[in-house]
A = this chain, B = another copy of it.
């Protein structure tokens, strides 16, 4: 049945300098200087083979600190209420996080990363390579985000990170 609950088991855990959700950058683009690691549990380490040749990867996480889901939210970048699926806000019906981070190197079962926008201790559910063939869409309409200028987006997206 299409409404049957789905059970996933974490494949690893995120280590980062972000311990306060209120001061965590909202996306990798606002966290370029934030280093971190994805520690993959040893039983899955074999699945990391060949990953080190990709410069960017998707991390799919369980945002276990997201709080109660809401269907309407004010996104971090703008003070106008939007449908939650038109935002990347964490308080979604299923608290799934999606981040494109830079993969610096792979050491055994540990991925060293830059652009980490994820809270320390967040469970990791999946890793996928980001590839130009599949994921770089050249021309997009970006909805309400096109109303937000780069300077404002950068200031609000960092959530005080670079001023600390």
- Which B residue's beta carbon lies closest to that of A80? B50
Given known contacts A29-B134, A94-B8, A98-B98, is B86 in contact with A129 (CB within 8 Å)?
A: yes
CA distance A15 to B5 in the complex (A): 19
CA distance A129 to B145 in the complex (A): 10
CA distance A128 to B143 in the complex (A): 12
Copies in the complex: 2
A2 interface residue, CB < 8 Å from B? yes
A71 and B94: CB pair below 8 A?
Answer: no
B71 and A96: CB pair below 8 A?
Answer: no
Given known contacts A54-B142, A96-B60, is B10 in contact with A6 (CB within 8 Å)?
A: yes
B136 and A130: CB pair below 8 A?
Answer: no
A51 and B88: CB pair below 8 A?
Answer: no
* A residues adjacent to B (C-beta < 8 A): 2-11, 13, 27-29, 40-41, 44, 46-56, 58, 60, 62, 64, 71-72, 82-88, 92-94, 96, 98, 100, 121, 123, 125-145, 153
